């Protein structure tokens, strides 16, 4: 039998794993330079042939992501969107369907944590955390599912957090509760709409080195000492190093692609082994 070989030219000639797909990435901006989850997902999906429709509530941040996509020869469309606003989300998906005819992939990447246990956190902050981390995903799923049903199927990837699985070093009860609920939102939606060809899965990132560390977390948890916070986080990871947004994005890419055609209602944990260690 003749041995098959794969050359660089063969690789370049093959279509991408998302070629021809329309992929919406919510939270596609970034709080600073580097690979946040949303920005990495947008760029990697575009590299794999998707037309990416990028949303964020920060116009400048999502513009930078779109410019990176276009710099690499990809196609990106940007929308300023507050994914916690029911009317705005409904209008966005209606516009998206008019403009593109369908939505093949949805990635819900919006989130943010606030410190505090049940005794310390205000009721207002509790509601805000649920709205930001859970309701945002619910609203986008709500409005994309009818579009996907009409088109004969699609893939939804929701982003949770290791905090939704276990204690990760700080009391953030609302964030942890919301991210745990995102996993169950995905599971229930996956079962209900499986007959319609819609797959729903969750990526669960651990303590990655994303721009959020420098922009916000170091001030909140380490008195502004970025290196100290990075050392604390890395010490929890059995692999001995921290990933970044690209690791989340590659997991999302698998779940969005036809390679995951038999995968629905489950999670991929991207944490270097942190959530399964005992100490």
The full set of domain ranges for the chain reads 18-276
Kindly name the residue from 92, 93, 175, 193 that is annotated as catalytic. Answer: 175
pLDDT digits (tens, 9 = 90+) for 28-44: 998 788 899 999 999 99
pLDDT digits (tens, 9 = 90+) for 59-100: 999 999 999 999 999 999 999 999 999 999 999 999 999 999
Stated pTM of the model: 0.91
Asked if 10 and 245 touch (Cβ cutoff 8 Å), the reply is no
Active site residue 193: no
Rounded (to 5) percent helix, strand, coil in the chain:
50, 15, 35
Among 273, 270, 133, 279, which Cα is nearest to 210's?
270
Whole-Å CA distances, 233 to 159, 216, 237: 20, 15, 7
**Distance between CA atoms of residues 168 and 182, nearest Å:** 17
pLDDT digits (tens, 9 = 90+) for 109-138: 999 999 999 999 999 999 999 999 999 999
- End-to-end C-alpha distance for the chain, whole angstroms: 52
What CATH superfamily is the domain 18-276? NAD(P)-binding Rossmann-like Domain (3.40.50.720)
């Amino acid at each position: 039998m003749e041995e098959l070989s794969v050359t660089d030219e063969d690789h370049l000639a093959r279509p991408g794993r998302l070629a021809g797909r329309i992929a919406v990435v919510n939270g596609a901006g970034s709080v600073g330079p580097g690979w946040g989850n949303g920005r990495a997902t947008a760029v990697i999906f575009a590299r794999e042939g998707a037309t990416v429709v990028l949303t964020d509530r920060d116009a400048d941040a999502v513009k930078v992501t779109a410019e990176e996509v276009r710099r690499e020869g990809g196609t990106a469309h940007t929308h300023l969107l507050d994914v916690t606003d029911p009317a705005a989300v409904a209008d966005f998906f209606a516009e998206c369907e008019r403009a593109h005819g369908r939505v093949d992939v949805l990635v819900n990447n919006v989130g943010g944590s606030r410190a505090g246990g049940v005794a310390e956190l205000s009721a207002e902050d509790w509601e805000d955390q649920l709205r930001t981390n859970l309701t945002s995903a619910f609203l986008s799923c709500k409005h994309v599912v009818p579009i996907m049903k009409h088109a004969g199927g699609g893939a939804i990837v929701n982003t949770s957090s290791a905090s939704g699985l276990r204690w990760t070093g700080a009391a953030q009860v609302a964030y942890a509760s919301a991210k745990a609920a995102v996993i169950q939102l995905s599971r229930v939606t996956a079962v209900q709409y499986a007959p319609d060809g819609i797959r729903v899965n969750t990526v669960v990132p651990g303590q990655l080195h994303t721009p959020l560390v420098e922009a916000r977390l170091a001030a909140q948890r380490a008195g502004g000492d970025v290196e100290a916070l990075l050392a604390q986080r890395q010490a929890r990871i059995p692999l001995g190093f921290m990933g970044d947004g690209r690791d989340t994005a590659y997991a999302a890419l698998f779940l969005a692609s036809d390679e995951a055609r038999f995968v629905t209602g489950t999670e991929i944990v991207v944490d270097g082994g942190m959530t399964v260690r005992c100490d």
